[in-house]
Homo-oligomer: A and B are copies of this chain.
């Protein structure tokens, strides 16, 4: 059975992205790239759970501002988070009034959202623009999944640090015969009024980023039961998706400038590369992991790296998509990675399955 879905009816463009983070992320190596940060991690809210709602709300707000769009210009929003019943998202995004599709793919939700939105945009001209927002908050996640941070519980070396972060993406359906609008020259960019900025790019953005193909991930259960080792739980799913995609598309890792995983961290990244080597696929030179890029391992006490719905979303939104717009990366395979478990499934001895949807991105020169 065919697994890859080619998006042939239209060109699906990632037009705008935005990100917001907390204290630890702002002081990491990517700190300057995020659009917004709050050193208190509170985002003006009285609980950690509501802080995450605010984080998502702020991030979508910034994306709309960059795009010069009003909420009513966006046809559908695909969103989710790690809180029970994805309530951070539904509370944070309600006031925008954008038609809403709630997703749950654990830390893979950003990839699932990009996949869903691009398939919806490809399906019908009725949807011209869609948004994707995903978030996570360290303090809300720790007290829900493990112990409240005030408890000071010890973490194992394989444990990851749930990022306090959110990323937003605004996608557009471009008809196949539609020409990409070139950038407004530098000197006029800041003077241009809001309606002219719509669809326009910054001068430094010489490339347009497209989603060409997607592939839905399978639930892969490697039998890991340790909630302190999400990397090991997710790596088999990422390996399965990469192997399946490369086989069906008859492509090799060399066809990509980067194969980016969501949040495997140090432990999971090593396992992924080993699993793929055992079937003759070497991705070591192409592999990058958002969870490995978020923090400085020497300076920050984050053990195996970053995780959470907001990790891959904010790193893609602030670093990789902008770099693609500058033409640095042209062909990218993005696999957000999710660990499918709940506090009660862990307590009842259940194993943690993984999932890794594939989103294939391309950047093309579209004028200076």
When the two chains form their complex, are residues B122 and A123 in contact, meaning their CB atoms are under 8 A apart?
Answer: yes
When the two chains form their complex, are residues A112 and B101 in contact, meaning their CB atoms are under 8 A apart?
Answer: yes
Smallest Cβ distance from A56 to chain B, in angstroms?
A: 12
Minimum CB distance partner of A127 in chain B: B5
A3-B99, A80-B104 given; A90·B219 CB < 8 A: yes
Determine the distance from Cα of A33 to Cα of B219 in the docked complex, in whole angstroms.
31
When the two chains form their complex, are residues B344 and A123 in contact, meaning their CB atoms are under 8 A apart?
Answer: no
Which among A75, A91, A105, A341 has the highest number of chain B CB atoms within 10 Å? Answer: A91
Residues in B whose Cβ lies below 8 Å from that of A93: 219
Which among A5, A87, A122 has the highest number of chain B CB atoms within 10 Å? Answer: A87
Write out, one digit per residue, whether chain A residues 96-135 have a CB within 8 A of any chain B CB (1) or not (0).
0111111111100000100010011011101100000000
Give the total of A residues in contact with B, Cβ under 8 Å: 63
A47 close to chain B: CB less than 8 A: yes
When the two chains form their complex, are residues B218 and A343 in contact, meaning their CB atoms are under 8 A apart?
Answer: no
Main secondary structure on chain A at its contact with chain B?
A: mixed
Residues in B whose Cβ lies below 8 Å from that of A102: 103-106, 112, 340, 355
When the two chains form their complex, are residues B100 and A217 in contact, meaning their CB atoms are under 8 A apart?
Answer: yes
When the two chains form their complex, are residues B5 and A126 in contact, meaning their CB atoms are under 8 A apart?
Answer: yes
Q: Which of A16-24, A265-273, A345-353 contacts B (4 or more CB under 8 A)?
A: A345-353
Residues in B whose Cβ lies below 8 Å from that of A82: 85
A100-B219, A103-B104 given; A91·B350 CB < 8 A: yes
A50 close to chain B: CB less than 8 A: yes
A342 close to chain B: CB less than 8 A: yes
A86 close to chain B: CB less than 8 A: yes
When the two chains form their complex, are residues B6 and A100 in contact, meaning their CB atoms are under 8 A apart?
Answer: no
Determine the distance from Cα of A232 to Cα of B201 in the docked complex, in whole angstroms.
45
A-B contact sample (18 more), CB < 8 A, given A5-B120, A87-B344: A5-B124, A9-B9, A9-B123, A49-B345, A50-B350, A75-B216, A83-B344, A84-B342, A87-B342, A90-B353, A94-B221, A101-B116, A102-B104, A102-B105, A102-B106, A119-B124, A120-B123, A122-B123
The 6 closest A-B pairs by CB, nearest first: A123-B123, A99-B216, A90-B340, A85-B342, A87-B342, A104-B104
Chain A residues engaging chain B, CB cutoff 8 angstroms: 1-9, 47, 49-50, 72-73, 75-76, 80, 82-87, 90-91, 93-94, 97-106, 112, 116, 119-120, 122-124, 126-127, 144, 215-219, 221, 340-345, 348, 350, 353, 355
